[in-house]
């Protein structure tokens, strides 16, 4: 896969994803966002980094990937170097009240939770700041070498990343202002925080990736540090082989081949033609992504997997591919 790289090894080293303290992994639904997030987390822990992975939308995908059981807000150990958790805004609020406002909170927070729901509905950014704030807090307290976030998809991630700045502009004094201040210090620091977008070489994911990259630049303080193109199809056949296939469709070669395989070879030729067509159509979308994205943003590639593996085996395979792409 090394021949597909569009930046030098030096460029990648300068912007190595795993040199950050906080990485948000996002992308259009179905492109493999969780696959990349869990792969990066496994790679980080295998490199000796104390790692936390957080699933912002708790669907259980991270737990299934690591085959570790449910991942609560209180965290679950996957390996000695890797812990996993799922975001819970009420639990995050409980933790915030205890840590920052020194309020004793026992059990469900009842009326406070109801008040929070009212405020969160009326004031955009409140719910998002509890999510981002929890992750920034783990970085601020240096609990981990790296925090990797299986973040919200493209339609919601900008709102989450921009929430601290939005609150900061609304609230000029007081404890909330001071809280958003240190969050912004972490989010806006390119040596600490970055966003990775996952895409596939198809029209809609590429469109969303290009749009999101612009929105991240214009609406947030966070830096885009990489794009992972998932499910990249290999070049199975050369032009000479394609010409040979077309010749084999013509008599007398077709009849001879039919006798050799004892059946109709047409489906084989159709499958070969489809493979070529898919590869070339995706190649055009990939070329567009290369040409329109900021040249300083590394493009990393994960191959299409024809044998679908799941669970920890799949995570390890992804980590291996990412390790190769990142130059480890």
pLDDT at residue 258, rounded to an integer? 78
Residue 13 lies in a domain: yes
Domain range for 148 is 2-234+294-322
pLDDT at residue 81, rounded to an integer? 97
- Please state, in angstroms and as integers, the Cα–Cα distance from residue 39 to each residue in 55, 150, 321, following that order: 13, 11, 9
Residue 128 lies in a domain: yes
Q: Roughly what angle, to the nearest 10 degrees, separates helices 175-187 and 126-140?
A: 60
Pairing of strands 193-200, 82-86: unpaired
pLDDT at residue 211, rounded to an integer? 96
Along the chain (328 residues), what's the average pLDDT of each consecutive run of 10 residues?
A: 38 67 95 96 97 94 94 94 91 71 51 48 65 92 96 90 76 59 91 96 95 95 95 75 73 77 78 71 88 92 83 95 92
Which pLDDT tens digit goes with each residue over 242-269? 677 777 777 777 777 777 788 887 777 7
pLDDT at residue 228, rounded to an integer? 97
Q: Domain holding 229: CATH number?
A: 3.40.50.300
pLDDT at residue 101, rounded to an integer? 55
* Other beta carbons less than 10 A from residue 10's beta carbon: 9
Residue 179 lies in a domain: yes
Residue 253 lies in a domain: no
Residue 227 lies in a domain: yes
Report the C-alpha gap between 81 and 51 in whole angstroms. 6
- Counting the structural domains of the chain, the total is 1
Residue 248 lies in a domain: no
Residue 132 lies in a domain: yes
Report the C-alpha gap between 155 and 273 in whole angstroms. 36
Residue 260 lies in a domain: no
């Amino acid at each position: 896969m090394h021949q597909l790289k569009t930046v030098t090894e030096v460029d990648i080293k300068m912007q190595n994803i795993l040199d950050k303290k906080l990485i948000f992994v996002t992308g259009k639904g179905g492109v493999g966002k969780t696959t990349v997030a869990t792969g990066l987390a496994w790679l980080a822990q295998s490199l000796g980094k104390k790692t936390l992975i957080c699933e912002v939308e708790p669907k259980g995908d991270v737990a299934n990937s690591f085959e570790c059981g449910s991942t609560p807000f209180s965290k679950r150990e996957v390996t000695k170097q890797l812990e996993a958790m799922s975001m819970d805004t009420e639990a995050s609020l409980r933790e915030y009240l205890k840590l920052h406002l020194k309020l004793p909170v026992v059990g469900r927070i009842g009326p406070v939770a109801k008040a929070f729901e009212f405020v969160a509905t009326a004031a955009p950014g409140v719910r998002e700041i509890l999510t981002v704030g929890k992750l920034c807090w783990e970085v601020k307290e240096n609990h981990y070498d790296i925090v990797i976030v299986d973040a919200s998809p493209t339609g919601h991630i900008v709102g989450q990343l921009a929430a601290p700045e939005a609150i900061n502009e609304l609230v000029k004094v007081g404890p909330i202002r001071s809280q958003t201040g240190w969050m912004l210090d972490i989010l806006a620091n390119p040596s600490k925080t970055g966003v990775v977008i996952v895409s596939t070489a198809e029209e809609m994911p590429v469109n969303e990736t290009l749009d999101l990259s612009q929105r991240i630049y214009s609406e947030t303080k966070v830096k885009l540090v990489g794009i992972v193109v998932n499910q990249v199809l290999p070049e199975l056949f050369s032009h000479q082989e394609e010409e040979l296939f077309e010749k084999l469709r013509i008599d007398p070669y077709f009849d001879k081949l039919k006798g050799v395989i004892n059946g109709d070879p047409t489906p084989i030729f159709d499958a070969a033609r489809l493979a070529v067509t898919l590869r070339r159509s995706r190649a055009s979308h990939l070329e567009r992504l290369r040409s329109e994205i900021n040249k300083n943003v590394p493009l990393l590639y994960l191959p299409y997997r024809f044998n679908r593996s799941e669970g920890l085996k799949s995570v390890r395979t992804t980590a291996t591919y990412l390790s190769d792409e990142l130059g480890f």
